[in-house]
Amino acid sequence: MKKILFILTIVLTLTGCSGTTWSVVESFHNNLLAEDRYRMILDGLQVTLLITFCAAVLGTMLGGLVCWARMSRHAWLQRLAKIYIDLMRGTPVLVLLMLMYYVFMAPLQAAGIVVAVVTFAMNASAYIGEMLRSGIESIDKGQTEAGLALGYNSRQVFMRIVLPQVVRKVMPVYLGEVITLLKGTSIVGYIAIMDMTRASDLIRSRTFDAFFPLIVTAAVYFLVAWLIGLLLNSLVERRRPRAVAAAAVLVLLGLTGYVPDICTRERGAMYDVQTDTEIPDVFKALKGKRVGVAMGSIQDITVTRYAPEADIRRYSSLTDMIAALKSGKIDIVCQENVTVTVNKEIAAVVDTIDAGLPPKPVAACFQLGNTELQQDFNRFLQEIRADGTYQQICDRWLKCDDASAVPVPRRSGTGRMIRVATFPISPPFNFICSGELSGMEADLLAQWANRRNYRLEFLIMDFASQIPAIQTGKADLAMGSIAVTEERMKQVLFSDRYNEARIMFYTRKGEAEMTGIKN
Number of compact structural domains in the chain: 3
| Within a domain: 7 | no
Q: Which of 435, 443, 348, 362 is nearest to 395 (CA)?
A: 443
Q: pLDDT at position 342, please?
A: 63
| Within a domain: 284 | yes
- Asked if residue 403 and residue 312 are part of one domain, the reply reads no
Q: pLDDT at position 278, please?
A: 66
Q: pLDDT at position 360, please?
A: 86
| Within a domain: 220 | yes
| Within a domain: 235 | yes
- Asked if residue 330 and residue 216 are part of one domain, the reply reads no
- Asked if residue 323 and residue 192 are part of one domain, the reply reads no
Q: pLDDT at position 270, please?
A: 42
Residue 84 half-sphere exposure, CB side, CA atoms within 13 Å? 23
336 near 504, Cβ under 8 Å? Answer: yes
- CA 41 from chain centre, in angstroms, equals 14
CA distance 365 to 440: 16
Between strands 430-433 and 492-494, the pairing is unpaired
- Asked if residue 281 and residue 196 are part of one domain, the reply reads no
CA distance 111 to 335: 23
Q: pLDDT at position 15, please?
A: 43
Q: Tens of pLDDT along 128-159? A: 999 999 888 888 877 877 877 777 787 888 77
Q: pLDDT at position 267, please?
A: 40
| Within a domain: 162 | yes
Q: pLDDT at position 224, please?
A: 94
**pTM higher than 0.85:** no
| Within a domain: 114 | yes
Domain span at residue 410 reads 361-501
- Asked if residue 325 and residue 199 are part of one domain, the reply reads no
| Within a domain: 264 | no
- Asked if residue 404 and residue 324 are part of one domain, the reply reads no
Spans of the chain, pLDDT less than 50: 3-4, 6-22, 259-273
Q: Tens of pLDDT along 236-275? A: 888 889 989 999 999 888 887 654 443 434 444 444 445 5
**Which CATH number goes with the domain that contains 92?**
1.10.3720.10
Q: pLDDT at position 137, please?
A: 85
Q: pLDDT at position 14, please?
A: 45
CA distance 375 to 474: 20
